[in-house]
């Protein structure tokens, strides 16, 4: 691995300035920006997921943005296989891969490997969705506490999506998710041969940016985007339906909330999501280079960062 093709990884919470940093590095290194955000993959969410706009995508090649349909199944495994293709293409085109996002599981799979877990059958997925709708996280907790406490001890017990994934893997394979993960193959990207940057934002600074950005989203058509999404129905269990703020705006469109309340609740959800991201990254990325997005990063510092890896 040479300096010119070593991947640059940029992780950080929502609204922390990852896209701007990626574009600066792309200009400096002849880079290709590759998405590592689980919501920005969906074609239905441009505004609400803060996907790079046309002015940004003109500045550098962008990959894995908005290419997945509303109803399509898309997993970390799908993403990892597509990233492998992107890395191969970037190398052949002489582009520096810059992988950017806020989905910790994607970065974990990329730099630590991903267990070859078989796909979940449709009937088990349907059962998991029904259990989640009927009992929420408690339905999964009871089964996992009894049948797979090892996996349960290692995941966020307040995250219904993570609990459902563990439950479905256990139902599909008869083997706990933690045991699958113990048999993980080598990673696609060796972390020692990549530039790893972690944007670690101050809570209050980030909260103000989240507030301003959501207001801009509303100005640029977030509500209309949600209207288009639910035109053929609303299924809250769909992975694409997990876009932060979507549920609150759906509630407004159904006359269950007034608009100011829906917006306030959406901002609260975004702040809580950012808090979970910050905690995850701080716990898992202690050996990444930490950057404070409140401080100016000079071109000289960028050049040094882009060339520093072991």
Binding-site residue set for substrate: 14-19
Q: Which residues of 278-293 are buried (b: 16+ CB within 10 A; e: fewer)?
A: bebbeebbeebeebeb
DSSP for 191-239 reads GGGSEEEEE---HHHHHHHHHHHHHHHHHTTHHHHHHHHGGG---TTSG
Neighbouring residues of 78: CB distance < 8 A, sequence distance ≥ 6: none
Cite the annotated binding site by residue number: 12-19
Edge-to-edge strand ranges of the sheet holding 289-291: 62-63, 31-35, 96-101, 8-11, 195-199, 289-291
CA dist., res. 218 & res. 70, Å (int): 21
Question: CB-hemisphere CA count at 13 Å for 53?
Answer: 6
Cite the annotated binding site for ATP by residue number: 12-19
Give the torsion sign (CA, 288, 293, 295, 300). Answer: positive
Of the candidates 112, 164, 115, the one whose C-alpha atom is nearest the C-alpha of residue 141 is 164
- Torsion angle of the four alpha carbons 234, 238, 242, 246, in this order, in degrees rounded to the nearest 10: -10
């Amino acid at each position: 691995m040479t300096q010119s093709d070593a991947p640059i990884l940029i992780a950080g919470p929502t609204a922390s300035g990852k896209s701007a940093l990626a574009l600066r590095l792309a200009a400096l290194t002849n880079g290709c920006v590759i998405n590592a955000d689980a919501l920005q993959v969906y074609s239905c969410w441009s505004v609400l997921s803060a996907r790079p706009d046309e002015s940004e995508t003109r500045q550098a090649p962008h990959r894995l943005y908005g290419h997945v349909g509303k109803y399509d199944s898309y997993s970390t495994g799908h993403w990892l296989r597509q990233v492998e293709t992107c890395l191969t293409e970037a190398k052949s085109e002489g582009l520096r891969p810059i992988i950017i996002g806020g989905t910790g599981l994607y970065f974990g799979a990329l730099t630590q490997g991903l267990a070859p877990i078989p796909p979940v059958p449709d009937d088990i997925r349907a059962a998991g969705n029904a259990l989640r709708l009927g009992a929420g996280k408690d339905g999964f907790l009871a089964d996992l506490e009894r049948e797979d406490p090892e996996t349960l001890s290692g995941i966020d017990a307040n995250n219904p999506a993570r609990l459902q994934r563990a439950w479905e893997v256990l139902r599909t394979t008869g083997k706990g998710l933690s045991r699958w993960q113990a048999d993980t193959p080598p990673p696609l990207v060796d972390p020692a041969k990549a530039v790893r940057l972690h944007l670690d934002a101050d809570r209050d600074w980030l909260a103000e940016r989240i507030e301003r950005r959501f207001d801009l989203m509303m100005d640029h058509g977030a509500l209309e985007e949600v209207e288009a999404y639910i035109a053929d129905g609303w299924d809250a269990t769909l992975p694409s339906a997990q876009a932060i703020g979507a549920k609150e705006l759906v509630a407004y469109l159904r006359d269950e909330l007034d608009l100011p309340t829906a917006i306030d609740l959406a901002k609260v959800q975004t702040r809580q999501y950012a808090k979970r991201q910050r905690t995850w990254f701080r716990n898992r990325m202690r050996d990444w280079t930490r950057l404070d997005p409140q401080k100016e990063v000079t071109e000289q510092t960028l050049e040094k960062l882009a060339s520093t890896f072991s």
